[in-house]
């Protein structure tokens, strides 16, 4: 049986996967071990660890009541990382995918779970050298976590458009706003959670899958949204890693406002029919970002993604007041009105420079120093 460790409702945490770069041409480099070794020579108390390949590192925040303290912690983590990276002549960057790295050149990190993933999934494990933000939202119990997971599925295209930062992949402009999710889609247990209605039903589903030998733990599910019973959270896994450290906190605030509305209203409209258009809407957000067109299957109509996002943000004003995140709501609305995305910024740099190395240099400077210079 999976036990759900109840947590304080609406508390927040984020995880960010970051690129490790050489400072010559800004390709990925196998720097995670050296970087972690240097970081751990001093006591810091932060959650910083390796990821599946050696050109990646993951940082995670503590539990927060709101985005203000989360940003303060991310600033502290960044200061530590930048100081250590500079000593090793390494660069660090956000972004959902490295623009010109080749997956065949990546090395799996020597950790048992990653080695098992590589043995099972073959080349897909190295292709999984992509970079995402995960958002954790505290839930009072397992039933609430199931309800919230289904509720948030409706808003997944918004998170995709707001975080999109991977227009280039393997040296090419993909024409997508986010190309990262195509690497996730290749895994057989990706997509969305089955339409279970409560924690008892979810446990039965998990036991069935485990009994068939398909999964051993919750980590084997690569769903866009999943319960995280050991943390007592729902985890949103759809976002690209943004190019800065402010955007992750805005995305977390958006998730918190939506969760507040779901849990306070007692929402329980769980239907398989809601997922009929899920993959189509997800594709629209990945391909076109704010210019995507979403389909409301229940209403039988289409609506622009930007319009739908702005309408949702306007309706969340009571939740923003209750959570003291009206500033974050305003910043999200401003970005949606301007169709402001990291992917557009990266493409503009490439148009001006004609160099993907220059693109990565600029995004590295932006993450490390908060500069676009």
What is the domain-level CATH number for residue 157? 3.30.590.20
Tell me, what's the pLDDT at 255? 98
String of DSSP letters for 108-175:
B-S-HHHHHHHHHHTHHHHHT---EEEEEEE-SSHHHHHHHHHHHHTTHHHHHHHH--B-EETTEE-S
- Residue 320: inside a domain: no
Into how many domains does the chain fold?
A: 1
Domain of 123 in residue numbering reads as 12-289+342-369
Which residue, among 169, 30, 161, 49, has the nearest Cα to 108 in the 3D structure?
A: 30
Cα 119 to Cα 285: distance, rounded to the nearest angstrom: 32
Cβ atoms of residues 289 and 177 within 8 Å: yes
Q: Is the pLDDT of residue 134 over 60?
A: yes
Mean pLDDT score, 146-163: 98
- Residue 329: inside a domain: no
Tens-place pLDDT, residues 342-363 = 999 999 999 999 999 999 999 9
- Residue 107: inside a domain: yes
Tens-place pLDDT, residues 100-125 = 999 999 999 999 999 999 999 999 99
- Residue 303: inside a domain: no
Q: SS3 of 20, please?
A: strand
- Residue 2: inside a domain: no
- Residue 87: inside a domain: yes
- Residue 206: inside a domain: yes
- Residue 132: inside a domain: yes
């Amino acid at each position: 049986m999976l036990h759900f460790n109840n947590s304080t409702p609406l508390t927040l945490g984020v995880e960010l996967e970051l690129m490790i770069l050489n400072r010559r041409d800004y390709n990925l480099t196998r720097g995670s071990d050296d970087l972690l070794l240097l970081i751990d020579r001093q006591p810091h108390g932060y959650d910083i660890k390796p990821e599946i390949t050696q050109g990646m590192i993951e940082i995670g925040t503590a539990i927060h009541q709101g985005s203000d303290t989360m940003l303060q912690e991310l600033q502290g983590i960044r200061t530590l990382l930048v100081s250590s990276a500079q000593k090793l002549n390494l660069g660090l960057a956000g972004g959902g995918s490295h623009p010109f790295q080749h997956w065949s050149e990546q090395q799996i990190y020597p950790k048992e779970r990653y080695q098992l993933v590589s043995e099972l999934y073959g080349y897909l494990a190295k292709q999984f050298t992509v970079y995402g933000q995960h958002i954790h939202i505290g839930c009072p119990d397992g039933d609430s976590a199931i309800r919230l997971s289904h509720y948030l599925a409706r808003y997944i295209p918004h998170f995709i458009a707001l975080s999109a930062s991977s227009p280039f992949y393997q040296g090419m402009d993909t024409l997508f706003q986010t190309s990262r999710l195509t690497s996730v889609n290749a895994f057989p247990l990706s997509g969305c959670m089955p339409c279970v209605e409560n924690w008892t039903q979810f446990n039965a589903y998990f036991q069935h899958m485990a009994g068939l030998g398909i999964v051993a733990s919750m980590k084997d599910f690569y769903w866009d949204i999943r319960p995280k019973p050991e943390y007592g959270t729902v985890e949103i896994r759809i976002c690209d890693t943004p190019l800065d450290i402010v955007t992750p906190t805005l995305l977390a605030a958006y998730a918190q406002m939506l969760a507040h509305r779901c849990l306070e209203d007692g929402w329980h409209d769980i239907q398989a029919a809601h997922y009929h258009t899920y993959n189509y809407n997800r594709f629209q957000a990945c391909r076109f970002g704010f210019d995507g067109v979403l389909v409301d299957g229940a209403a039988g109509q289409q609506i622009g993604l930007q319009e739908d996002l702005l309408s949702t943000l306007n309706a969340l004003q009571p939740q923003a007041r209750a959570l003291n995140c009206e500033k974050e709501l305003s910043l999200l609305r401003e970005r949606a009105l301007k169709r402001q995305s990291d992917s557009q910024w990266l493409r503009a740099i490439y148009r001006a420079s004609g160099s993907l190395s220059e693109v990565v240099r600029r995004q590295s400077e932006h993450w490390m120093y908060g500069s676009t210079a």
